Amino acid sequence: MTSMTVNDRPVRFDMDPQTPLLWALRDAANLTGTKYGCGEGDCGACMVLVDGEALRSCLITLAEAEGRFVTTIEGLSDDRSHPVQQAMVAEQAIQCGYCTPGIVIAASALIARNPDPSESDIKEAVPNLCRCGVYPRLVRAIQRAGRVARRRERISAAPAPGIDPADAARAVPALRVDGED
């Protein structure tokens, strides 16, 4: 049994303590926002905050996470209002989105310790791989997130997940009833 705090909740995993944290989060805790990419520490898709530091959860065992505070992408904010999340949406720095949770985690750790990062600070602190190649937008988004964190700029919160019913109604052609013009 391994105990830790995940997204502000006490959690005990009844699993082999040598299990990678990534698998415990995804398979046992159903926190599937944390992604499996390479499984070897290269891509960063699996990054989570451990005691505030962005770490690759594929490389940490449950035993190593014992007693620590883990934050996954699901726990970063309730409503996607974290400055990095807002800026990623505003700068359209997301394509397929597979790398995005790991990037947001890495960027949030950076902004917490350095809210005015240079491009080279970002490249060093956010080494995550993105097959869609959003890197230039990513730099803009993370610097913008820093301005939001420093209260130099405001971005209205990202819209809630899902489709607005009004938009859905516009997208679906009106049902035609026989006999009507």
Binding site for ligand FES (CB under 6 A): 36-39, 41-46, 56, 58, 94-100, 130-132, 134
Taking the complex as a whole, the smallest distance from the CB of residue 6 to ligand FES amounts, in Å, to 17
Q: Cβ closer to ligand FES: 6 or 47?
A: 47
The DSSP code sequence of 116-159 is: S--HHHHHHH-----TT--HHHHHHHHHHHHHHHTTS---PPPP
Taking the complex as a whole, the smallest distance from the CB of residue 176 to ligand FES amounts, in Å, to 39
Helix (H, G, I), strand (E, B) or coil at 169: helix
Q: Cβ closer to ligand FES: 132 or 168?
A: 132
Taking the complex as a whole, the smallest distance from the CB of residue 34 to ligand FES amounts, in Å, to 9
Q: In what order do the strands lie in the sheet with 2-6?
A: 9-13, 2-6, 69-71, 47-50, 53-56
Taking the complex as a whole, the smallest distance from the CB of residue 134 to ligand FES amounts, in Å, to 5
Taking the complex as a whole, the smallest distance from the CB of residue 41 to ligand FES amounts, in Å, to 5
Integer-rounded Cα Rg, in Å, for the chain is 19
Strands (E), the chain: 2-6, 9-13, 47-50, 53-56, 69-71
Q: Cβ closer to ligand FES: 134 or 141?
A: 134
Q: Cβ closer to ligand FES: 97 or 159?
A: 97
Q: Which residue has the tokens 């800026």?
A: 87
CA angle 116, 41, 26 (to 5 degrees): 95
Q: Cβ closer to ligand FES: 6 or 104?
A: 104
Distance of CA 116 to the CA centre of its chain: 20
Taking the complex as a whole, the smallest distance from the CB of residue 94 to ligand FES amounts, in Å, to 6
Q: Cβ closer to ligand FES: 132 or 169?
A: 132
